[in-house]
Chains A and B, each alone.
Chain A
Amino acid sequence: MHGRLKVRTTEEQKLIKEKKQQEKLKAYRQGFQQILSTRHEVPYNQTSFAICSQLLIANPDISTLWNYRKEVILQEIETSDKSNEEELGKFMTSEIKLTEQCLLANPKSYGSWYHRFWVLDRHPKPDWNGEFALCSLYLMKDDRNFHCWDYRRLILEKIGIDLDAERKFSTERININFSNYSSWHYRSTLKQLNQESLDEEINLVQNAVFTDPADSSAWFYLRWILSSQDVTKKHKEDMLCKLESLQELDPDCKWIYIAKSWLTKGVRDGNSVAADGDCFRTLIQIDPLRKGHYNDCLNNID
């Protein structure tokens, strides 16, 4: 091996870093100035537009820059040759590519996600199916990015939803990691509950709360299930019974108490009123931060 190590002390490195940052900041300000001063030009200023891309890649969270781009795009659409959509298509595709780079820099950039959809929606030949596949891939890598879950819904509005496939997708995501509000929520948007699917969903959510009762995401899904018209008294009784046995194993889990109070709501008799009271009094003990709320609940029973 014919080499040696670069050696820099941390002090030197710090200085270099600071200097670089200063230069970067200066360039950024200059670029921004250039864009603002030419923003209203018609036809738009090519240099400013190019600089805008650079600035966004460095920091995709500046709405002004995205808005500037949209103004330019509208200009492009207006002036484009209506008989030959290819040119415009190319332009729009390069816009989509830009959002890709920006999302790599910040996967949770509101501006980039919005811009991407906005552009695709105006693209002469939008590849919605390709976009959908990309979206699935993205969620496999990062299944808690709620932007992408929202984006998926937007795309499905365009290409039409295959409920079964989406349900399967959400089940897969939940199986991989059920501590995921996004996928539970997505699931709740997919299907109206009915007698048939109810048992399946209750089973799924029970698996989750038994595996990890401290994880709040599944409890919220349970709460959504309980809001269904089709939940019968028997369902509730069965579940109460299950929760009792879960409580034996985890006596200090506040979610079990809370869920029990959801279940007894509306079917109260003398016994359950007393039980509910105990429930909230225990909750005040184990979850003192929400004492006020539980006190309110207690008052409502009485």
Chain B
Amino acid sequence: MDTLPTEFDLIVVGTGLIESAVSAAASRIGKRVLHIDSKDYYGGLWASFNLENIETVFSKPQSNIHNAGSEDVQLDANQKKLVIGNDLFEIIDIEQAWHVLEKDKDYDSSLLKTKDVAEAALEVSEECNAESVDAVTKEVPVAVEANAESLVDEIQAIAVQEAIEKNNDVDIQEGAVAVIEAKENAEKETDPVLEVKEEFNATNDIHVEAEEAQIVEEEHLNNVTSLEVSAAAVFKPWSQESIMKQSRKFNLDLTPKVQFSRGEFVKLLVSSNIARYAEYIAIGRILTYLDGKLIPVPCSRSNIFSSPHVNVIEKRVLMKLLSTLMDSTDKDFSEYDGKTFKEYLQDRKLSPELIHYIVYSIALSDDETSCSDGVKNVKRFLASLGIIGQTPFIYSMYGSGEIPQAFCRLSAVFGGTYALNQPLSHFIYDEEHNFKGLISGQQKITASNLVTGFEYAPNEMVEKKEMSYISRGIFITDKSVLEADKQKTSLILMPSKDGKTLCHIIEAGHWSGVCPKDLYIVHMSARRTASAKEDLKYYVDTLFSNDPNDTKPNVLWSFYFAIPDTNDKDYTQHNSKNSFFCPGPDSDLDYDNSIQKASKIFDEIYPDSEFLPRAPDPDEIIFCDDSDEAAEEVKEAGAGDLPQEIEKTEEKQDSAEISLN
């Protein structure tokens, strides 16, 4: 194994979001940072996995923490070794299940035959030559394939009839295979997907594929898709085999998050130039569950205008209330001290429907949220509206696991040393609980400060308290919870039956880069009270169905777990002046609180430096060959506030749009 340098300013253990942000900030100001992880992937509890890996990540030992070689490491007299890791912060309630048969051929062939032969017949009827018959039969399951050839003649006879019948009520049925092929070709043409770049602020752009881009794609395909037969045309139920075949197209988040498009976090991504390391997609709609139905929440001005779910008077009342809240100050709510936000709205004599929309969606609250918190949330929501798409939220393409990696990338660009999959065994502390270094394999690495995820904190440094958890469910489904005329990533905010808690649900399709075509990923997150599965049962039962003929989506694969929420309590024991423990994911919808925590840790270590100042654009960098000199100058660039002095030119604005990938 290559040996690492043995002395650093800061060692960061674990690649979760907060750890990565501190790492990036420290590298950015020229500190020597070692960012090390025993895991072989980035992100820790914030990572995204493909379908195959997410199953294995919990089954194999979570890290390769071990002792081999560590006994050879010599310590100073007053130093001691503390074993890395503890038994407190573990993922629990893990339960994975398939809800489809294992192989394609396991499906009842007689059942398939009736449907498929009919469908195949239609296809055949349109395609006259033998070659296309082959193509068609390849698409239908094995059981039919055997029969298809001999049936061709019969089929054609039936087909004519069928086609006539079908033509009466639905679109013209065309050869499904040909259409699908044509569609795929058409898609190739539109690749790479158009990026709608929204002006974000004066100096930077953030890349977002807003829904409008989808319209373009769809329009482009229109001549093809209008002919396209329904999904059942190639009636082929999903099997474990067919889904696993596309395992690598999945990006399943352990911690799914959305971001307020003008929240603190996004502002930081933009101001620090980290935004260019990731791509984003607009959350196209917010849904809520009201009177037994999923309904798009009228939240923006144009949503309110076009929503059929609120009458004209309600439109006015809602708009008025939102602008009142937007312009309000804390003083305006002094009489609601100790009362809930819902009470405030009830006193305004709003209809129950409007209260539902405002409390559970716009205020991201539940029945017990205090008035002041509710108002604060509404303001935050409204401040991010109208920036990108129809909702205040954006989601990172290819899953939330991209976000910690973007920070790691910046850290590496500014000289941070990265080492994943390391045999970490011990932290070294002196008797005053000062961090001295760590042992990786046979190597002792020292640093002035330690930043580590809580899951790596040694037992001796952790105070045992009752843990709270976040119940999580990940589901692969076969259709959207609410079909829309264009592809929309959805945020579903669903209060529990008693209204006391709010479940955050994100549904994304293949356009977000998180799953293959024709499948959907649904993430559920809620506070854990019983167990992950029990906590989410109500939402699962409401949104999904087991009946393939139902309009609700079927769950093809489910995965439950609960991750510890280390944000609300302080678990540290023995105040160590130079070690900082980062909490894991919180139950918020977004990253704002987490990034504040990172900023706080950074300020404690480096009180006189700015947290993640703007990074230079590529065209501000003059390349030269002398590497020694260059290294010196990087440091200079990091330490000073030179970038701010450079006046923004038009060329620079262009270059800000060029991704470094």
A residues whose Cβ falls under 8 Å from a Cβ of B: 1-10, 13, 133, 136-137, 140-141, 175-178, 206-208, 210-213, 242, 245-246, 249-250
The smallest beta-carbon distance between B334 and chain A, in angstroms, is 25
**B316: contacting residue among A9, A176, A249, CB under 8 A:** A249
Task: List, in ascending order, chain A residues with CB within 8 A of B212's CB.
Answer: 140-141
What 1/0 flags go to B612-642 for Cβ under 8 Å of A?
0000100011111101001101101100001
- The reply to whether B313 and A175 form a contact with Cβ atoms under 8 Å apart is no
B171 at the interface (CB under 8 A from A): no
Name the segment of B275-283, B299-307, B496-504 touching the other chain.
B299-307
Given A1-B415, A5-B642, A7-B642; A211-B315 close (CB under 8 Å): yes
B325 at the interface (CB under 8 A from A): no
Closest to B216 in A: A137
CA distance A5 to B414 in the complex (A): 13
CA distance A177 to B621 in the complex (A): 41
- The reply to whether B647 and A211 form a contact with Cβ atoms under 8 Å apart is no
- The reply to whether A210 and B312 form a contact with Cβ atoms under 8 Å apart is yes
Closest to A242 in B: B312
A1-B634, A175-B302 are known contacts; what are 9 more A-B pairs with Cβ within 8 Å? A2-B624, A2-B630, A2-B631, A5-B633, A6-B621, A175-B305, A211-B304, A211-B305, A212-B305
B645 at the interface (CB under 8 A from A): yes
**B620: contacting residue among A5, A213, A246, CB under 8 A:** A5
Interface size class of B (residues with CB under 8 A): 35 or more
List 6 A-B pairs, minimum CB-CB distance, nearest first.
A4-B633, A3-B621, A2-B630, A210-B312, A175-B306, A211-B305
Given A10-B647, A141-B196, A175-B306; A5-B616 close (CB under 8 Å): yes
Given A140-B216, A207-B315, A246-B316; A4-B304 close (CB under 8 Å): no
Task: List, in ascending order, chain A residues with CB within 8 A of B631's CB.
Answer: 2
What 1/0 flags go to B287-327 for Cβ under 8 Å of A?
00000000000000110111000001101110110000000
- The reply to whether B306 and A7 form a contact with Cβ atoms under 8 Å apart is no
**19 residue pairs from A and B, CB less than 8 Å apart:** A1-B414, A1-B415, A1-B630, A3-B621, A3-B624, A5-B616, A5-B620, A5-B633, A8-B646, A140-B215, A207-B312, A210-B316, A211-B304, A211-B316, A213-B316, A246-B316, A249-B313, A249-B316, A249-B317
**A212: contacting residue among B301, B414, B630, B634, CB under 8 A:** B301
B residues whose Cβ falls under 8 Å from a Cβ of A: 196, 212, 215-216, 219, 301-302, 304-306, 312-313, 315-317, 319-320, 413-415, 616, 620-625, 627, 630-631, 633-634, 636-637, 642-643, 645-647
Closest to A17 in B: B649
**A210: contacting residue among B219, B313, B621, B624, CB under 8 A:** B313
Task: List, in ascending order, chain B residues with CB within 8 A of A137's CB.
Answer: 216, 219
CA distance A6 to B655 in the complex (A): 15
Task: List, in ascending order, chain A residues with CB within 8 A of B415's CB.
Answer: 1
Task: List, in ascending order, chain A residues with CB within 8 A of B645's CB.
Answer: 7, 9-10
Task: List, in ascending order, chain B residues with CB within 8 A of A207's CB.
Answer: 305-306, 312, 315
Task: List, in ascending order, chain A residues with CB within 8 A of B642's CB.
Answer: 5, 7
- Interface core residue of B216, B315, B320, B623 (most chain A CB under 10 Å): B315
CA distance A207 to B317 in the complex (A): 12
CA distance A206 to B414 in the complex (A): 57
The smallest beta-carbon distance between A218 and chain B, in angstroms, is 9
CA distance A60 to B302 in the complex (A): 34
The smallest beta-carbon distance between B640 and chain A, in angstroms, is 9
**B302: contacting residue among A2, A7, A9, A178, CB under 8 A:** A178
CA distance A213 to B319 in the complex (A): 10
**A4: contacting residue among B216, B316, B625, B636, CB under 8 A:** B636
Task: List, in ascending order, chain A residues with CB within 8 A of B624's CB.
Answer: 2-4
